[in-house]
Structure 1
Amino acid sequence: MRTISRILGLGALLVAPTLLADVQIGPRPFYLIDDMEHGWLKSTLDSCRDMSMTKSDFSIGHRGAALQFPEHTRESYVAAARMGAGIIECDVTFTKDRQLVCRHSQCDLQTTTDILAHPELAAKCTQPFTPAEFDANGERTKAASAVCCTSDITLDEFKSLCGKMDASDPNALTAEAYMGGTPNFRTDLYATCGTVMTHRESIELIASLGAKFTPELKEPSVTMPFQGGYTQQAYAQQMIDEYKSLGVRPERVFAQSFNLDDVLYWLKADPAFGRQAVYLDGRDSDPAFDTSKPSTWSPSMQQLADMGVNIIAPPTWMLVTLDADTNIVPSIYAQQAKAAGLDIITWTLERSGLLKDGGGYYYQSITDAIDNDGDTYKLLDVLTWDVGIDGIFSDWPATVTYYANCMGL
């Protein structure tokens, strides 16, 4: 056991290792390669079809393998590990009894679990289900809605839920119908009852799979301090303490937050973990923010570095732009981040559906260069070699694992 613990970097963490002997790529990378335009990149990737694949830290499982498996479930995490994700994400939030669990948002239970199918729990939701309303002409005047938060229920109640694909039907007249609406580029084939996870359970599972950890401290939807005494800093420290209590070495943990103050707190209060903390840059939600105008960034890249931040993580589109010949090239944002000495990871591949219509949010800065699914690899290649990213989140990690192995990353 000591030998395995040293390999995994677990210290005192006693888990039964279930290391996956073989990375299972599956058909998707080959589908993407076949869909690419002819050229050097396609030929290079095609030449690796018979290559034996190994796990890669460049490949980060975004909520597990959320393209097909309910996010933040045991099944999703195991699928990500099987596809060679060297790092797997648990988004961290808390329950009514202040226990940490894996959910993308504190208040997304109505779309990511079957809570509305449990009347006794649905009644506890911050906003119980209300059906859609329509006028005499059949036009919808009010969308169906519900708001159910982890902070509405206890840990035991949370653990009674089934994870499902993140979706809802705004036209629903019943709670059962509201829980449908899965996008057509995903599937409910594996959403039979995803096993929801506590943060601690995710640590034990991901460790047993031989992967590293990237927990994201989610912004609370409730007023902090919660219940009068649970502060933001206590919440941030609790997340780190769960790794420490299980003997996980700091270098195996990449704590994340969109809240810069969380990152600065970790740097000061627990620098061993803080030095690998990831500042998730969501400043594009500010209308004044412009990736091509450093004067609109506050703080600047150099100021972030001077604060001690080592890793920044923007969405993919912020790192790239198009030149006069419609080639994908690094953005000014990417250039400034590298000049300041910041490492970069980015999010998220395979979360936009079909790319034939321009790719949506994650491709918005390069829409004119995107017209087929194979362009996923065109973007990834520029991000890797021209931007110089250190890793990328994907809803289907096999895509990135294949690329990382083929390119010798």
Structure 2
Amino acid sequence: MAAPALAGPGEKAAQTGAAQTATTPAGNGRKAALLIVGHRGASGYRPEHTLASYELAARMGADYMEPDLVITKDGVLVCRHEPEIGGTTDVASRPEFADRKRTVVLDGVSVTGWWTHDFTLPELKTLRATERIPAIRQQNTLYDGRFEVPTFQEVLDLRKRLSKELDRELGVFPETKHPTYFKNLGLALEGPLVRTLRRNGLDRRGAKVFVQSFEATNLRELADRYRIQVPLVFLTGASGGPFNDPRSYADYLTPAGLRELNDYVSGLGPEKGQIIPRKADGTLGTPTSLVRDAHRAGLKVIPYTFRAENSFLPAELRVGADPSAYGKAIDEQVTFLRTGIDGLFTDNPDVGVLARTLV
């Protein structure tokens, strides 16, 4: 599947930040350009951020695998949703690590648990992954204790192997998690990320790689200091703003803010409610102007996160009263794809691949 035409920061500099009017391809061309990103792998079917989850996403047809990156005490990038691993591994049941439990201030919030930066990689490799939301995804608990916490390098090795086996180039869409927090610990994520990409020949124009972050300053540093060549994607929330940043996400998403982002960012990853908000009764409302505004600023739009269970769906697309049961997830994704977005993050890549054919 061809990647959308997103420019890396080097090309952004050559464009001197000029806003470019994007056009949406029609018909089969548009379908081919839509990206299906396996959110933390195929995390609707396997515990997230495991090699099993990433592999299943690829076999279901995802164009990209999405690993969240945190770091160990000895400076190795590993794939976890958060640096706190009490809810995604069996560490709480390991008496040898009971004394590692502690409270830290993570982006201004006190959080108690076990932290990747308190473990060396060999120690972390003794742990096993568990389902993060077992109340909703009980079927995933079948795999608790089966899989290791993978390194970023292991994900890239898997990508290379599966690309050959499936005869199509798979992409990788890493996210830097809490980069300011880790930098303040002396464990900055930027250098290890760029070095890993370059060691694998992936920091180059045309590589099927995007790097994403909720922190604009992190992306600016990757562009300006590290001269990263792959496209950068700014993730946004429906409220608040990046940590330790005086600007809100809403400010970044004004027409002027989007034009400024175009200097170093090639795409947006908004929370899906920023594309189609929900009304007071939980049903889908009227689409906002964000897709149009972003395209006018020369930015692609790939929202998150699409899931199949009723608890994550708008009210009119739920089926039955069981929050864990599947609702009309295909309908939701088709509805969003028809707004002109350029792809989506989904825990159920097979649903995304099917929805893409129906646009």
Give the TM-score band, short-chain normalised. 0.7 to 0.9
Task: Give the Cα separation in 2 of the matches to 1:397 and 1:327.
Answer: 22
The gaps in structure 1 that reach 5 residues or longer are 1-54, 129-144, 168-180
Task: For residue 328 of structure 1, report the CA deviation from its aligned partner.
Answer: 5.1
**Equivalence for 1:303:** 260
State whether residues 61 and 77 of structure 1, in contact with CA within 8 Å, keep that contact through their aligned partners in structure 2.
Answer: yes
- Asked if the contact 2:46/2:143 (under 8 Å) is kept, the reply is yes
Q: Secondary structure in 2 aligned to 1:300?
A: helix
Letter of the 2:113 partner, please give it. V
1:308-349 Cα shifts (integer Å, max 9, x gaps):
3210110111101479xx875421233322222210011111
Match of 1:102 among 66, 79, 84: 79
Letter matched to residue 312 of structure 1: L
Contact 2:174 2:212 in 1 (8 A): yes
Change (3 A) 1:344 1:241: same
* Matching residue of 2:122: 156
Q: 2:174 aligns to what?
A: 215
Q: How many residues align?
A: 301
Identity %: 26
From the superposition, tell whether residues 201 and 241 of structure 1 become closer, same or farther in structure 2 (CA, over 3 Å): same
Following TM superposition, the consecutive aligned residue runs of length 4 or more in structure 1 with deviations greater than 6 angstroms are 288-291
Q: Write the mapping of 1:10-409 to structure 2, written as runs, cut at 5 A.
A: 58-107=35-84, 109-127=85-103, 146-167=112-133, 181-184=134-137, 187-210=140-163, 211-220=170-179, 222=181, 224-227=183-186, 230=187, 232=188, 235-248=189-202, 250=204, 251-274=207-230, 276-282=231-237, 284-285=239-240, 297=254, 300-305=257-262, 307-321=263-277, 329-350=286-307, 353-354=309-310, 359=312, 363=314, 367=315, 369-372=316-319, 374-386=327-339, 388-407=340-359
Q: 1:157–1:310: structure 2 CA closer, same or farther, 3 Å change rule?
A: same
Q: Which amino acid aligns with 1:123?
A: D
Asked if the contact 1:253–1:273 (Cα under 8 Å) also holds between the matched residues in 2, the reply is no
Which sections of structure 2, spanning at least 5 residues, go unmatched? 1-31, 105-110, 164-169, 242-246, 320-325
SS at match of 2:143: coil
Point out the more displaced range, 197-206 or 263-272: 263-272
SS of residue matched to 2:303: strand
Q: Please report how far the alpha carbon of residue 282 of structure 1 lies from its aligned counterpart in structure 2 after TM superposition.
A: 2.4
How far residue 124 of structure 1 moved from its aligned partner, in angstroms, is: 1.6
How many angstroms apart in 1 are the aligned matches of 2:158 and 2:215?
Answer: 27
Q: Give, in whole Å, the separation in 2 of the partners of 1:371 and 1:283.
A: 22
Q: Secondary structure at the match of 1:65?
A: coil
Q: TM-score, normalised by structure 1?
A: 0.66
SS at structure 1 position matched to 2:268: strand
Contact map agreement 1:350 1:394 (CA 8 A) in 2: yes
Contact 1:93/1:100, CA 8 A, preserved across alignment:
yes
Secondary structure of the corresponding residue to residue 267 of structure 1: helix
Aligned pair in 2 of structure 1 residues 347, 125: CA closer, same or farther (>3 Å)? Answer: same
Aligned to 1:142: none
Q: Is the 8 A contact 1:56 1:84 kept in 2?
A: no
* Higher Cα Rg, which structure: 1
Query: Over aligned residues, Cα RMSD in angstroms?
Result: 3.1
How far apart are the structure 1 equivalents of 2:65 and 2:214? 18
Distance 1:385 1:296 in 2: 21
Query: Is this contact kept in 2: 1:75–1:195, CA < 8 A?
Result: no
Question: Residues 125 and 298 of structure 1: is their aligned pair in 2 closer, same or farther, counting only changes over 3 Å?
Answer: farther
CA distance in 1: counterparts of 2:249 and 2:76, whole angstroms: 38
Shift of 1:370: 3.9
Which amino acid is the alignment partner of residue 148 of structure 1? W
Q: Report the Cα distance in structure 1 between the residues aligned to 2:80 and 2:236, rounded to whole angstroms.
A: 19
